[in-house]
Amino acid sequence: MSTIHLIRHGQASFGSADYDRLSSLGEQQVMHLRDHYARIRQPVDAIYSGTLQRQRSTAEILASLHGDGSGSSSGGIQQHSAFNEYDAEVLLKAHAKRSGLPLTALQGPNAKPDPRAFQRRLEQAGRAWIAGELDARGVEPWRVFRSRVAEGLEEIMRSEGRSRQIVVCSSAGTIGAAVGHVLGLDDEGALKLSWTLFNSSITRIRYDDARRNLEVFNAVPHLEAQPDPRPLVTFR
């Protein structure tokens, strides 16, 4: 059987003008993962990522595990838009327009985004999204998002073949949809998984021609092994 390692990107720059880049903590999280894979001598035959900057940067750090920048024995990082995250900003705006709940309520007293308020609103918007209530011009429908993730995952399984160790650097929503596909979860079940994922976490799927099995979900052994893991284990 082959194994796909679904890696959530390191912490992005939440609350900054450019969210789509790793924070310094995010880079540290992924470097701990790279070093963990080096310690356990984890083979990597191929590395994929979505096309978003935070996903590509995560893949680039992991690729340095091999010292030559390729990240694998068969070539460089392969980018695939199937593993791009949904656009949370677009969803939140569509939800605000439909519900009448202002986006300014997501800011704390210092005018910076409040992570807890943001998460609560994102969950509300997500449930409306999967119910088809946010379908509008410029909003990727949930069914389209879920289908493209499943198709991308199946494409890698077909193309990579047997006895392979494959890394896919992606995002929380994408990984939730991928695991939902493998386990046959309903829409809300797949979406809920995405809300639990830690930055730089490992989710592993084992597969062959006939079987797809979830082996590990949302593991962070590379962070838990640090002297004080508490500041390293983050959702956002």
| Domains of the chain, CATH where assigned | 2-84+149-224 (3.40.50.1240), 87-139 (no CATH)
For the beta sheet containing 78-79, the strands, ordered from the edge strand earlier in sequence to the opposite edge, are: 78-79, 46-49, 165-170, 2-8, 202-207, 212-219
Q: What is the pLDDT of residue 70?
A: 42
- Residue 113 confidence class, pLDDT cut points 50, 70, 90: confident
Residue-wise pLDDT tens digits, 140-199: 999 999 999 999 999 999 999 899 999 999 999 999 999 999 999 999 999 999 999 999
Rounded to an integer, the average pLDDT of 26-51 is 97
Which residues on adjacent β-strands are paired with residue 206? 3, 213
Whole-number average pLDDT of the chain: 93
DSSP conformation class of 204: E
∠ at Cα 73 (162, 165), nearest 5°? Answer: 35
Q: What is the pLDDT of residue 67?
A: 57
Q: What is the pLDDT of residue 110?
A: 73
Rounded to an integer, the average pLDDT of 21-28 is 97
